[in-house]
Amino acid sequence: MNFGEIYKAYFQDVYLYTKSLVSDKDIAEEITQETFFKALKSFHQFDGKKDVRAWLFTIAKNTYFTQYKKQQREINMVENSPQKDVQLVDYLMNEERALMIHRFLHAMEEPYKEVFSLRTFGELSFETIGHLFGKSDGWARVTYYRAKKKIMAYMEAKQDEGN
């Protein structure tokens, strides 16, 4: 059975299984699509000894858990620092402050400097950044937020000097 046939035969089953995990049909569809994408990427490893449907359900379940954990981390980060994100954007929009940030960023140690630059100026995802460094997306996320914290502390110190 080729992958196209598997997709046609099992898409609805995987979707219904995913729908049992999440109540939102759009999220269920997104997870189902991601499941088949992952299955396609690893199809060469599938030996056919197991049931195809069970294999797809396992991928769907793992995809759901990965997305759920990611969503929880993002919620925690948003709840912890929404004002600081706005403040950082305000700093970057002001040319003089942006120059101060760039100077500080230039002197910042690696990998903070590069991760922050790739995320902020290169607009790369944490997954891509982690891949570039041979690390996880969680590592990239933590490194970015530590760099951002250092920049915010520097800017607050500069602001205190000015007052």
CATH number of 126's domain: 1.10.10
Q: Mean pLDDT, the chain, as a whole number?
A: 79
The DSSP secondary-structure symbol of 51 reads: -
pLDDT category, 73, cuts 50, 70, 90?
low
Angle (CA) 105-128-22 rounded to 5° is 120
Would you say 158 and 103 are in contact if contact means Cβ atoms under 8 Å apart?
no
Per the structure, the count of domains in the chain is 2
Same domain, 44 and 95: no
Q: How far is CA 49 from the centre of its chain?
A: 33
pLDDT category, 4, cuts 50, 70, 90?
confident
pLDDT category, 36, cuts 50, 70, 90?
confident
Same domain, 92 and 70: no
Domain that holds residue 156: 81-162
Would the pLDDT of 42 be above 70? yes
Same domain, 15 and 28: yes
What does the chain come to in residues?
Answer: 163
Same domain, 91 and 66: no
Same domain, 41 and 60: yes
Same domain, 108 and 70: no
User: Dihedral (C-alpha) 126, 127, 130, 134: value to the nearest 10 degrees?
Assistant: 180
Same domain, 57 and 87: no
Same domain, 87 and 158: yes
Same domain, 71 and 106: no
Would you say 130 and 140 are in contact if contact means Cβ atoms under 8 Å apart?
yes
Overall pTM > 0.75: no
Would you say 132 and 118 are in contact if contact means Cβ atoms under 8 Å apart?
yes
pLDDT in tens, 117-161: 888 777 788 888 888 889 888 898 899 888 888 888 888 887 777
Domain boundary, last residue among 55, 78, 101: 78
We report the CATH number of the domain holding residue 33 as: 1.10.1740.10
Can you tell me the distance from the alpha carbon of 37 to that of 39, in angstroms, rounded to the nearest whole number? 5
